[in-house]
Structure 1
C-alpha cells in the first residue's frame, strides 16, 4: 500500500494532488449538506417570525414558500433580487421603517399557510 502511494506520488504527482483536492471538495459539500439538513429539520427553525437580521432566502426557507413569491411580496424583482440583503437593508432601500416591512411580510406569510 505504502509502495503504491509512493509510486503514484513519484510518477503521477499532479493526479494525486487533483484527486486529493476532489476528495476535500466532496467532503466539504457533504458536510455542508449534512449541517443544512440538520439545521432545517429542527422544528425550532421553521416558521420563525421575521426579524430585521433575516434575509429573504432565510425567511422563504423557514416558511417553506417560494423565494420568488417572497421577493415579489417584498417589492423586489424576483429575477434580480440581491442575495445577502437583510430585511433591514431592504426596508432602508425602500425608504420605509423595517417594522412596516416586517408587518407586511408577516401578513403575506400568514396568508400562504393552509
Structure 2
C-alpha cells in the first residue's frame, strides 16, 4: 500500500478522499434510517412541525396543511404551537385538526390500496 502511495500519490489521495466521503454518507444514511425507524407514527405534539409529522407518518406535509387548513410555511417551518399562536386558538384545537387530517389521509391511502392503486 505504501509503495502504491509512493508511486501514485494523487490517485491514492483521491481514493482515500473518496472512501472517507463514502463512509461519511453511509454513516449519515444509517443514522437517519435508525432515527426515523424509531420515530414512525409519533403521536402529535405541540413542538412538532408539519414536515416532521409528514415524515413520521409517511404523508405529504402540504396535504396535511391543506386538510387541517394550516398556513403554508413562509420561510422556516412553524411548530403547531406557533401556528396556534398565529391563529389565536388553543394548541389543542390545532392538534385535533392535524390528527383529523392525518386520519383522513391514512384512510385515503388505505382506500387507494384496496382499489389496486399504489
Q: TM-score, normalised by structure 2?
A: 0.67
2:71 to 76, 90, 100: 76
Distance 1:86 1:8, change over 3 A: farther
CA distance in 1, matches of 2:91, 2:6: 61
CA distance in 2, matches of 1:88, 1:105: 12
Q: TM-score, normalised by structure 1?
A: 0.69
Deviations 1:14-59 (A, max 9, x none): x82x5544433322221122222223334xx232221112121221
Distance 1:71 1:21, change over 3 A: farther
RMSD: 2.7
Aligned length: 106
In structure 2, the residue corresponding to 1:99 is in which secondary structure? Answer: helix
Distance 1:74 1:46, change over 3 A: farther
CA distance in 2, matches of 1:48, 1:107: 14
2:85 to 86, 92, 105: 92
CA distance in 2, matches of 1:111, 1:31: 36
- Are 2:98 and 1:105 aligned? yes
Cα displacement (A) at 1:82: 4.2
Cα displacement (A) at 1:74: 4.8
